[in-house]
Amino acid sequence: MAEPAPARGPSEPMAFDHEQLENSVAPGFGTVGGDLHDAVKRARDALKALGDLPSGEETDQRFLRWLTPKRDQMLALTDDLADAYLDIKEGLLAMHRGVLVLDWGMADDLTKLPDYLADGPAVERGGA
C-alpha cells in the first residue's frame, strides 16, 4: 500500500521561468509538431512513389481492404497528434503572456487564497 504524502507547511510561491518557457519549452512543442507533420508528408510521398500494390488475387484484395483504412487512419491520427503539439505550444505561449500581465499585487486584497497543494478548500487569510 502506498504511503501518504508527507504533510507540508505553508505553500511556497510557484516559480515560473518565463525565459525557459518562451525560448525552449514552447518552441520544442512546435518543433515536434512540425516534425510529425513532415513525417506524415514523407510517408504519404513514399507510399505514392510505390504505386498501387498488387490486387489481382482475392487474397491481395482482402489484404488491401484490411490495410488501406488502417494506413490512412494512422496517417490522419499522426497528423492530429502533430496539431495537438502545435496547440500545446500556442497554449503555453498564451499562458506565458497571461502570467506576464497579471496584477500580482491584487493578492494582497483577497480574503481567501487558493492553496493548490492542500486537499481542502481555500484558506482564510488573517489580517486582510
* Strand residue runs (E) in 1-128: 112-113, 123-124
pLDDT at 113: 65
pLDDT at 10: 53
Q: What is the pLDDT of residues 6-54, one digit of tens each?
A: 555 555 555 667 788 888 989 999 999 999 999 999 999 998 888 888 8
As a whole number of angstroms, the distance between CA 67 and CA 55 comes to 12
pLDDT at 128: 45
Q: Which residue has the cell 513532415?
A: 38
State how beta strands 112-113 and 123-124 pair. Answer: antiparallel
pLDDT at 87: 94
This prediction has a pTM of 0.61
Q: What is the pLDDT of residues 81-90, one digit of tens each?
A: 999 999 999 9
Closest residue by Cα to residue 39 from 28, 47, 51:
47
pLDDT at 1: 47
